[in-house]
A and B are shown apart, each in its own frame.
Chain A
């Protein structure tokens, strides 16, 4: 058996363990991880679609909103779970030489499994509300993959930093809050003053979410390419690539010393 396949079994066991532990002792199990995006969706839908009438320009606004929130929930989960992964498994790292990357990756994959389950719910929602299915929906895995790369790379950086600096968890909480409003999850872009739109849309998270909505919900979705032109439209992809490269370099540099620093 070669090394990579043994890493695969390890990641698989870590993900399975994570799931068993997460829903253990709770009667409703998985329903709870669905409750978070659904509850958020319910509140935001009532407030913004009915009180503020944000959804007026967007066809299928409820589903549009739900998909955004499901992707957002994944982003929070993946980064938060990765952040604590190394420290949480400190006992293991101090006593066994296991490839450290598997620990962060398994945390991120656990979140991805949850996302997949949540997407099934989005699908059911789409059928109920009668969203037109277009061939662009086939590009969804690409956007999810990009989001996975972004969240996992950030997860690696956060996990490695958290070993030395325990403030990171608080900082990240604040950053997440800012990111939620810096990404057009709730509000339509039309409400944003023109000079800010460019900045908003080169945010990689906004890029991925809007592309996913375009592919799945409605062609009326405003995408990065609609706001900025030429090479600027590539900024989100380049940003993700740079974050991923930095994550690779930083994690590789710090990982051998986790056992000592923990």
Chain B
């Protein structure tokens, strides 16, 4: 196999920041503390070793604080490595964030020239591309207005339009996909596809696994400053999801003890437990082909006639995805006596995409005017393993292709 040219070679890279215990921001403090300089070395990146091929779309993913932004800043030359080396073949866009150096007091036109110069474009080159930039940003009518009168979306559009003009071989992008409306996002994706087609090397840092799987040829996952996984983007995205799951479970165990604050209702019947199940046994993570079961147990302290038992499933943003209850399913629950326990079992096909979901059980009287008990987000469960988890739902569906 032919050996590919490398755009970026990172070898045994370490970065640590010296964090003074007490920061001296004045000379007096510096002089007074000369004899007791105490620093804590904070290792942000350890033994980072990887290569990016020419023309490759390379993703860097990791949770907050994993060190991925520090890595990008090192590659961009904003920070200097503590040890190890970074070799860049070809020119690099020196920015990692859109719209850097934008000045709110200047007009859109002035900002294009300033931003262009920061990206290394000459005045002549910017003049040549000016119309292209403005047209792409769809801001023809606003160029003589001050930037402070732009909406944030307009500013991003302008920034992105200038940024893609930088004629560098290697493009560094940090979290750009999270901005702009869906129409502009689509345009950005088109530009990415175009960039990819033209064989430019792109290094993208993102949380968006959909983007990683759509665009990146290869990706790398870092956690706590070390490379956890590197390789095909699909595999790395899966590793990222699994890493997140572990973390979610850990943090959940912590908060669970604090008990849920959002509780309504009187004392006639209480929710005792709520868990997700697979074939009747407790299960936390579900694969695409597995049925998701939920079991809620109630205990009554008074006599209740024909109550309604209900469940709501939400995503992590708190959006209700579906809800059901015994009345909707035309189930008579009858009279419940004091001391009696009621178990409600629920089961559905897994049409949920990869992610974490919450369950909020409730119990109300027959006319749904009184809620005896209702616990918001009592339990969580996860779905993982879909081939293409880009959207919220995975309903069973057919896809046919016909050719003439």
- CB < 8 Å: which of B77, B103, B121, B122 contacts A17? B103
Are B122 and A6 in contact, with the CB atoms below 8 A? yes
- CB < 8 Å: which of A10, A16, A165, A166 contacts B118? A10
Are B114 and A96 in contact, with the CB atoms below 8 A? no
A window 81-104: CB within 8 A of B: 91-98
Nearest-neighbor residue (CB-CB) of A10 within chain B: B117
Nearest-neighbor residue (CB-CB) of A17 within chain B: B114
**Distance (whole angstroms) from the CB of B33 to the closest CB of chain A:** 13
- A-side interface residues toward B, CB under 8 Å? 1, 5-6, 9-10, 12-14, 16-17, 20-21, 24, 91-98, 164-168, 171, 256-257, 259-260
Query: What 4 A-B pairs come out closest when comparing CB atoms?
Result: A97-B77, A13-B117, A97-B94, A95-B100
The complex places the Cα of A256 from the Cα of B80 at a distance, in Å, of 6
B window 162-218: CB within 8 A of A: none
Are B122 and A5 in contact, with the CB atoms below 8 A? yes
Are A92 and B123 in contact, with the CB atoms below 8 A? no
A167-B94 contact given A12-B117, A21-B106, CB 8 Å threshold: no
**Distance (whole angstroms) from the CB of B42 to the closest CB of chain A:** 11
The complex places the Cα of A164 from the Cα of B26 at a distance, in Å, of 8
Are A92 and B80 in contact, with the CB atoms below 8 A? no
The complex places the Cα of A259 from the Cα of B80 at a distance, in Å, of 9
Q: Mark B112-139, 1 if CB is under 8 A from A, else 0.
A: 0110111011110100000000000000
B window 25-44: CB within 8 A of A: 25-28, 30
- B-side interface residues toward A, CB under 8 Å? 17, 24-28, 30, 73, 76-80, 94-97, 100-101, 103, 105-106, 110, 113-114, 116-118, 120-123, 125
Nearest-neighbor residue (CB-CB) of B101 within chain A: A92
Are A24 and B123 in contact, with the CB atoms below 8 A? no
Are A12 and B78 in contact, with the CB atoms below 8 A? no
Are A260 and B79 in contact, with the CB atoms below 8 A? yes
Are A257 and B76 in contact, with the CB atoms below 8 A? no
Nearest-neighbor residue (CB-CB) of B94 within chain A: A97
Residues of A within 8 A of B80 (CB): 256-257
A-B contact pairs, 25 of them (CB 8 A): A6-B121, A10-B118, A10-B120, A12-B117, A12-B123, A13-B114, A13-B117, A14-B114, A17-B103, A17-B106, A17-B110, A20-B106, A92-B100, A92-B101, A94-B78, A95-B78, A96-B95, A96-B96, A96-B101, A96-B118, A97-B78, A165-B24, A166-B26, A171-B27, A259-B78
The complex places the Cα of A97 from the Cα of B101 at a distance, in Å, of 12
- CB < 8 Å: which of B76, B105, B114 contacts A24? B105
